[in-house]
Amino acid sequence: MSGATGTIHGVGLGPGDPDLMSLRAHRLVTNARHVAYFRKEGRAGRARGMVEGMLAPDAVEFAMEYPVTTEIPVSHPEYNATLSAFYTDCTDHLRKLADSGEDVVVLCEGDPFFYGSFMHLYTRLKDAVPVLVVPATTGMSAAWTATGRPITWGDDVLSVLMATLPEADLVRHMQAADALVVMKIGRNIDKLRRALRAAGKYDAAWLVEYAAMEGQTVQKLSDTEGRVTPYFSIIVVHGNGRRP
């Protein structure tokens, strides 16, 4: 420990395959003295699982357990209030470590600045202690690569949508875009199927489950009727724009 302020590192681990982790991320993870990661209560944590066997034997782990995930609708006032308090508590702990001179590696699935929980820590920490972010390959990049087809051509416009959006909003965005990525599917799959049909893009949609993770599957969405999809699913609609 030194007298200088420590640094909080938001480290993107990529989509799941350890071989897709950057050299910088690997170096920080394997040399970390303090490691923090999000997880659902009672679970090991997907980010933690991605670095199994990489941490130093004496690394100090800080598991940040979500107080709520799907138990309360995101539109409910209690949802934001509960999570805000949770992120503030996590921030206080990390800041104390940094203030005492300790560096901390926060494990982040995918890229830290792409719909990740780390962003909520970053905005609370960035003006108080040094914070560095390590970018990474996103899950959606792994998903469209798994289909074996380019996602965009020429002037194609790519839209990234959350399946949690209202159905009318999904249809509007789908109709306006040339290529699509849809995330956070889970229990929203039926709504998503209806929206894709209304936008005229259902037959072109691909469903990728667990992209770049163990158990990856790739199939046309139309071949999965009646199935429940896991949270770690991504729907891809490829663009067909200008090409030489």
Give the model's confidence band at 110: pLDDT under 50 very low, under 70 low, under 90 confident, else very high.
very high
3-state secondary structure 34-99: EEEEEEECCCCCHHHHHCCCCCCCCCEEEEEEECCCCCCCCCCHHHHHHHHHHHHHHHHHHHHHHH
8-state DSSP, 5: P
- Overall fold of domain 8-137: Cobalt-precorrin-4 Transmethylase; domain 1 (3.40.1010)
- 83-to-56, 66, 77, 143, 187 alpha-carbon distances in Å: 30, 8, 10, 29, 21
Residue at 188: amino acid letter: N
Assigned superfamily of 140-237? Tetrapyrrole methylase, C-terminal domain (3.30.950.10)
Domain boundaries, the chain: 8-137, 140-237
- pLDDT tier, 74 (very low <50, low <70, confident <90, very high otherwise): low
Domains 8-137 and 140-237 share a fold: no
Residue 143 identity: A
Please tell me the total number of residues recorded for the chain in this structure: 244
Distance CA 95, CA 125 (A): 7
pTM here?
Answer: 0.92
Question: Quick check: 239 pLDDT over 90?
Answer: yes
